[in-house]
């Protein structure tokens, strides 16, 4: 469904905060600074989806739309190559998180995302599927492995079942891609998130605090959030998104404009 137009001052604020104006992101270092500023961002979504996006920031345009033939598009290729380099550098979190959306998460936001979507080690056997557990057993032994080798070692021979298992482990923030290789053929190297982000993933945060800080991370750069927007961007349920936004109102950080609509108090 088409989105309702936002006030001009909000769109201009988002232009500045979400990199929707200017020359666009060119390097991995610039991309990492962008991710740190916005807290979390989609990877390759365009202007038709809400929230910040690395691809849109590479384009530097509010109306950037991903072309159908992405292989021949220089901006899409640039965003894809930057994604690969950011993954290799390992300074920010990357994975398919809630609803299997590929997202970058700044280190400061990792504890909050882990609180909401992560699971404890003692709950793995009851909450994870058998294929996911099989993949996880191998990675806990080997620490890093390419896709084909991991599929073979885990015994999850069916390609679709294996892909779903890896996505399941990414959603609960246990497994991450460590590197993308193109020679001799395209593959991911998979590893354990705790190897790269042990300190951040081990922090104990209450769920109400996590919801509040995720809501803050979005509102600080969006200026205004409308009904359903925070949930769509982050993968939170609407009730949880509401809890986060209302906590910001109680704190005095945000103002409730209408049902489901919250604005930075400083605006």
The domain 207-264 having CATH identifier 3.40.50.2300: the answer here is no
Residue 27's φ and ψ, nearest 5 degrees, are -125, 165
Query: Which residues are within 8 A (CB) of 253 and not within 5 positions of it... i.e. 6 or more apart?
Result: 216, 219, 264, 265
**pLDDT tens-digit readout, 194-249:** 999 999 999 999 999 999 999 999 999 999 999 999 999 999 999 999 999 999 99
Same CATH topology for 119-172+174-202 and 207-264: the answer is yes
Residue 151's φ and ψ, nearest 5 degrees, are -65, -40
**pLDDT tens-digit readout, 31-40:** 999 999 999 9
Instruction: Round to whole Å and give the CA distance between 151 and 148.
Output: 5
Residue 120 has pLDDT above 90, yes or no: yes
Whether the link from the prior residue into 164 is cis, omega within 30° of 0, is: no
Report pLDDT for 72: 76
Strand partners, 191: 144, 176
Report pLDDT for 67: 82
Report percent pLDDT > 70 for the chain: 98
Query: In the numeric block, which tokens belong to residue 230?
Result: 């925070």
Report pLDDT for 2: 54
**Could you tell me which CATH class the domain 119-172+174-202 is placed in?**
mainly alpha
With H, G, I as helix, E, B as strand and everything else as coil, classify residue 129: coil
Best CA proximity match to 15, nearest among 53, 67, 66: 53
Query: In the numeric block, which tokens belong to residue 202?
Result: 């081990």
Query: CA distances (Å), 225 to each of 122, 202, 231, in order?
Result: 36, 30, 10
Query: Which residues are within 8 A (CB) of 215 and not within 5 positions of it... i.e. 6 or more apart?
Result: 225, 230, 241, 244, 245, 247, 248
Q: Domain extents for the chain?
A: 8-108, 119-172+174-202, 207-264
Residues 61-77 have a mean pLDDT of 85
The model's confidence at residue 81, banded by pLDDT at 50, 70 and 90, is very high
Report pLDDT for 128: 97
């Amino acid at each position: 469904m088409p989105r309702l137009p936002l006030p001009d001052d909000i769109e201009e604020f988002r232009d500045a905060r979400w990199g929707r104006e200017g020359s666009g992101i060119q390097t991995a270092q610039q991309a990492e600074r962008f991710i740190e500023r916005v807290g979390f961002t989609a990877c390759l979504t365009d202007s038709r989806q809400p929230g910040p996006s690395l691809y849109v920031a590479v384009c530097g345009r509010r109306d950037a739309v991903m072309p159908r033939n992405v292989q021949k598009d220089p901006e899409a290729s640039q965003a894809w190559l930057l994604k690969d380099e950011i993954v290799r550098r390992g300074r920010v979190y990357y994975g398919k998180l809630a609803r299997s959306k590929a997202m970058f998460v700044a280190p400061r936001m990792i504890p909050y995302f882990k609180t909401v979507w992560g699971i404890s080690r003692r709950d793995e056997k009851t909450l994870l599927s058998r294929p996911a557990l099989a993949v996880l057993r191998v990675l806990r032994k080997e620490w890093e492995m390419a896709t084909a080798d991991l599929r073979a070692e885990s015994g999850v021979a069916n390609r679709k079942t294996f892909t779903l298992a890896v996505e399941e482990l990414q959603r609960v923030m246990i497994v991450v891609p460590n590197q993308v290789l193109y020679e001799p053929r395209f593959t991911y190297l998979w590893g354990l998130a705790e190897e790269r982000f042990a300190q951040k993933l081990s922090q104990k945060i209450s769920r109400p605090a996590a919801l509040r800080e995720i809501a803050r991370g979005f509102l600080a750069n969006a200026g205004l959030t409308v009904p359903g927007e925070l949930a769509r961007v982050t993968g939170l349920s609407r009730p949880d998104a509401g809890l986060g936004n209302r906590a910001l109102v109680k704190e005095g950080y945000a103002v409730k404009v209408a049902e489901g609509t919250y604005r930075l108090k400083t605006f």
